[in-house]
Amino acid sequence: MPVTAENLTIPATELTIVGHYDKTPGYVTRRRTGASSWLLLWTQAGGGLVEQAGVSLTTKPGDLVVLKSGMPQHYRVAAERWRFWWVHFQPRPPWLAWLGAYALAPGCHLVGGVPESLHDRVDLAFRRALSDASWLPGVAGPPPGAPDAPAVAVTAPARELVLGAVEEVLILATASARRDGEDGGDERIGRVLALIAAQPGAPHSVASLARAAALSPSRLAHLFTAETGQTPMQAVRDARVRHAAGLLEVTDMDIAHVAAASGFVSPFHFSRAFKKHYGLPPRDYRTRLRGA
């Protein structure tokens, strides 16, 4: 007998179910009293029409829709096809804050326009969730059956694994999607700043940063300085010094290794830049932090 909501011993409100559909026109779901669980829809291709809380929206590839439980909902194919992942779940408390900025109405959230560079990673997270829903200790690989058949996470460990994948999707989507009306400056400069902050020790140059932003080096230098008040390489230097300060504080790495890990070409250049920024050589900075 297949596992369904009707023959499970756990309450319906605790169900965690993952599925993947590729539907053509004619597919419709209508819940007049809503679902007992929250619903997440991630559109891979085509589009769907989703209605809840008085809101009607049409999804496109890269859109994430999250619908609260207990509210009437209706969704259907709105193009030649609708290929999408879906998950029924109960949200962890932090997720509500992440989604709050994307609420179109109470209980209806659209995280739209997740960058295409993240789509493969999001899809992999859902595929992992589908497999993990059937995970059992000591059992290698997913159970036999249709690879895209919906799966119910019956055990507590399986549910936690699925929710971990859902959390990854929500983090990626809410952290990268641009909210309507948001004024975050030039998106290309934001991309460069994020790259510098995430990888301060990388061998950055104006040319390499310009390639990441799809700009010419001269255009990047002009826009970057106008928006931040620094040249790109000044920002790189400051990020490297801050990274080095963290290593000095929490590791026992010697100064030469800290310099190399932070992207400096030599301990001499590192010490000079560090003292200019913090007013102390690296060794004295570490000694003062540790009260020695």
pLDDT by 10s per residue, the chain, length 292: 444 444 444 445 568 999 999 999 999 999 998 889 999 999 999 999 999 988 999 999 999 999 999 999 999 999 999 999 999 999 998 899 889 889 999 899 999 989 888 999 999 999 999 999 988 887 665 555 445 689 999 899 999 999 999 999 999 999 887 654 444 567 788 888 888 888 899 999 999 999 988 899 999 999 999 888 889 999 999 999 999 999 998 899 999 999 999 999 999 999 999 999 999 999 999 988 877 5
* Token pair belonging to 43: 């559109």
State the chain's maximal CA–CA distance in angstroms.
73
Specify whether the CB–CB gap between 177 and 102 falls below 8 A. yes
Asked which of 141, 157, 176 is the last residue of a domain, the reply is 176
Amino acid 209: pLDDT? 94
Task: Specify if 4 maps to a domain.
Answer: no
Amino acid 160: pLDDT? 95
Listing DSSP states for 36-87 in one string gives SSEEEEEEEEEEEEEEETTEEEE--TT-EEEE-TTS-EEEEEEEEEEEEEEE
Q: Does residue 130 share a domain with residue 38?
A: yes
Task: Specify if 7 maps to a domain.
Answer: no
Number of domains forming the structure of the chain: 2
Q: Does residue 221 share a domain with residue 150?
A: no
Q: Which residues contact 264 (CB under 8 A, 6 or more apart)?
A: 240, 244, 270, 273
Dist CA 290 CA 133 (whole Å): 47
Q: Which letter does DSSP use for residue 11 in this model?
A: -
Q: Does residue 219 share a domain with residue 97?
A: no
What global pTM score does this model have? Answer: 0.68
Residue type, 121: R
Structural domain range at position 261: 187-289
* Token pair belonging to 195: 């790259």
Amino acid 101: pLDDT? 86
Residue type, 47: G
Dist CA 125 CA 53 (whole Å): 28
Q: Does residue 280 share a domain with residue 217?
A: yes
